[in-house]
């Protein structure tokens, strides 16, 4: 943590977040953690669906979804009915004051009610309008799938990522829950930052298009380049060239390491006290080790099963083989590296307690520590935002509330 500057990098930037679930909330979380004012627009009755997805933090009848808490800290919530023309008028007023809009609703939904980029940018030429969707929505670059909805697992499957995960004799397997959402949110925040830099020169905003499908193709570059250059593709459960590679059991858990070249293999052999395997024709190269896995696997597995996880990692690291423990959730909360880095940040929720969440992963030498305000209650900041940002009167607020336009 440093205190070189008193302002966050994005201090003074206003973001209107028309968002739900994971991808856009994660994008705006990164912006909020960097100091942007993020105003989250939610439906007055139920809000972001993520609020109602378990598990929950609960106490004395009060509860909030854990996933919502994780991705919505440092934001303001405005509960606004966009199905009503009066609600859309309020939304347009808010966007007129904004630098950025981030949106991940179903394709076509905002255009049908005239609050899409083409509707909003004429009155705010500097507006940066970022969309996260399954297949991309930038005008002129749509494809045959652009109108379709998507969830993370769809993008992971179509992007080829799922094809490479799992075992050869089993169906393809998804990776970490929400990974395409998180990656797409990260890509969108990167695009927004570039657009802000561009606007400082040109004075104009632009449409930023983050496609979950495209993002998975980018993440799966190995499959793309391998097929482009060799005409081949990675086979699920069958390593090509790199072996040993994976998780290996020890007395008290698992460790993970890989052998990318013969120098690294020589070091692993030193750890196992098996110098004979360095030049053995069955194990002297990556392809040979893969071809002779039935011979090699018992040797490697038996060695590591007889020592502890800590000892195994220490021995490998000592000879220059990058290795680490396969950590559980309990391990993460006890990890001295994460503690030293402040990678888990505490957030106090009044009435619910104090909880820890993953901190924005970047550390910056000349910026203050990120704020840790809790995720908002539904509509917690509606009146504040409408009065302080838009200058609405108390009578305006009362009328909108009585007509159920706001909450």
Instruction: Specify whether 322 is located in the same domain as 345.
Output: no
Query: Does residue 368 sit within a domain?
Result: yes
Same domain, 25 and 160: yes
Which pLDDT belongs to residue 234? 83
CATH number at residue 260: 3.30.1540.10
Mark whether 316 and 371 lie in a shared domain. Answer: no
Closest CA to 77 of 10, 26, 17: 17
87 within some domain: yes
Return d(Cα 225, Cα 228) in angstroms, integer: 5
Would you say residue 235 lies in a domain? no
Domain count, the chain: 2
Question: What is the C-alpha to C-alpha distance for residues 24 and 16, in angstroms, rounded to an integer?
Answer: 11
Please measure the distance between the N-terminal and C-terminal CA atoms of the chain and give it in whole angstroms: 38
Please check whether residue 85 is in contact with residue 73, taking contact to mean a CB–CB distance below 8 angstroms: no
Residues 38 and 92 in one domain: yes
Same domain, 168 and 285: no
In order along its 407 residues, the chain shows pLDDT tens digits of 454 447 999 999 999 999 999 999 999 999 999 999 999 999 999 999 999 999 999 999 999 999 999 999 999 999 999 999 999 999 999 999 999 999 999 999 999 999 999 999 999 999 999 999 999 999 999 999 999 999 999 999 999 999 989 888 899 999 998 999 999 999 999 999 999 999 999 999 999 999 999 999 999 998 999 899 999 888 887 767 789 999 999 999 999 999 999 999 999 999 999 999 999 999 999 999 999 999 999 999 999 999 999 999 999 999 999 999 999 999 999 999 999 999 999 999 999 999 999 999 999 999 999 999 999 999 999 999 999 999 999 999 999 999 999 99
Apex 36 CA angle, 204 and 122, nearest 5: 30
Q: Please report, for the chain, how many H helices and E strands are present, in that order.
A: 18, 13
Question: Range of 310's domain?
Answer: 245-331
Crossing angle for the helix pair 212-219 and 179-202, nearest 10 degrees? 100
Nearest of 43, 154, 74, 150 to residue 372 by alpha carbon = 74
Which of 313, 331, 349 terminates a domain? The answer is: 331
Element (H, E) at 297: helix 293-305
Instruction: Tell me, yes or no, whether 280 and 343 share the same domain.
Output: no
Catalytic residue check, 181: yes
If asked whether residues 344 and 327 sit together in one domain, one would say no
Among residues 331, 352, 371, the one where a domain terminates is 331
Q: φ and ψ at 184, to 5 degrees?
A: -70, -35
Contact between 80 and 87 (Cβ < 8 Å) = yes
Q: Which of 222, 217, 218, 213 lies closest to 23 in space, CA to CA? A: 213
Residue 158's CATH number: 3.40.50.10540
Q: Are residues 114 and 214 in the same domain?
A: yes
Q: Are residues 213 and 352 in the same domain?
A: yes
Residues 282 and 347 in one domain: no
For 36, 205, 284, the CA distances from 200, given in Å and listed in that order, are 16, 9, 56
Q: What is the pTM of this model?
A: 0.94
Choosing from 315, 331, 347, the residue where a domain stops is: 331
* Catalytic site residue from 81, 181, 209, 214: 181
What angle is formed at CA 192 by the lines to CA 188 and CA 197, rounded to 5 degrees? 150
pLDDT of residue 241: 74
Same domain flag for 104 and 148: yes
What local confidence, expressed as pLDDT, does residue 1 receive?
A: 46
Determine the pLDDT at residue 292: 95
* DSSP sequence for 90-158: HHHHHHHT-SEEEE-PPTTHHHHTT-SHHHHGGG-TT-EEEEEESS---TT---TTTTS---HHHHHHH
- Do 140 and 40 share a structural domain? yes
Alpha-helical regions (H) of 101-178: 109-112, 117-120, 152-158
What's the pLDDT score for residue 386? 98
């Amino acid at each position: 943590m440093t205190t070189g500057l008193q302002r966050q990098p994005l201090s003074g930037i206003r973001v209107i977040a028309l968002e739900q679930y994971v991808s856009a909330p994660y994008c705006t979380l990164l912006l909020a953690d960097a100091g942007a004012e993020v105003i989250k627009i939610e439906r007055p009755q139920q809000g972001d669906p993520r609020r109602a997805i378990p598990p929950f933090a609960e106490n004395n009848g009060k509860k909030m979804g854990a996933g919502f808490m994780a991705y919505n800290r440092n934001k303001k919530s405005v509960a606004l009915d966009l199905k009503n023309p009066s609600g859309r008028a309020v939304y347009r007023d808010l966007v007129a004051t904004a630098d950025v809009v981030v949106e991940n609703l179903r394709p076509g939904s905002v255009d049908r009610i005239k609050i899409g980029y083409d509707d909003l940018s004429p009155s705010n030429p500097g507006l940066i309008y970022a969309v996260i969707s399954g297949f991309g929505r930038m005008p002129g670059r749509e494809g045959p799938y652009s109108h379709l909805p998507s969830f993370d697992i769809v993008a992971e499957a179509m992007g080829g990522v799922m094809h490479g995960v799992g075992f050869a004799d089993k169906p393809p397997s998804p990776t970490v829950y929400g990974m395409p959402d998180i990656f797409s949110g990260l890509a969108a925040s990167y695009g927004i930052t570039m657009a802000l830099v561009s606007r400082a020169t040109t004075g104009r905003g632009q449409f930023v298009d983050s496609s979950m499908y495209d993002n998975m193709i980018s993440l799966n570059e190995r499959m793309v380049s391998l097929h482009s250059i060799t005409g081949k593709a990675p086979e699920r459960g069958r390593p090509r060239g790199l072996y040993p590679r994976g998780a290996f059991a020890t007395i008290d858990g698992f460790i993970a390491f890989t052998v990318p070249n013969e120098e690294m293999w020589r070091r692993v052999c030193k750890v196992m006290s098996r110098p004979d395997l360095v030049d053995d024709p069955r194990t002297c190269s990556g392809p040979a080790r893969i071809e002779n896995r039935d011979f090699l696997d018992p040797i490697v597995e038996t060695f590591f099963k007889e020592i502890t996880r800590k000892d195994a990692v220490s021995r490998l690291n000592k000879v220059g083989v990058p290795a680490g423990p396969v950590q559980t959730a309990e391990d993460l909360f006890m990890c001295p590296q994460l503690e030293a880095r402040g990678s888990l940040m505490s957030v106090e929720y009044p009435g619910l307690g104090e909880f820890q969440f993953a901190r924005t992963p970047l550390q910056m030498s000349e910026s203050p520590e990120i704020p840790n305000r809790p995720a908002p209650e539904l509509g917690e900041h509606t009146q504040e935002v409408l009065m302080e940002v838009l200058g609405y009167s108390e009578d305006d607020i009362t009328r909108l509330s009585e007509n159920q336009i706001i909450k």
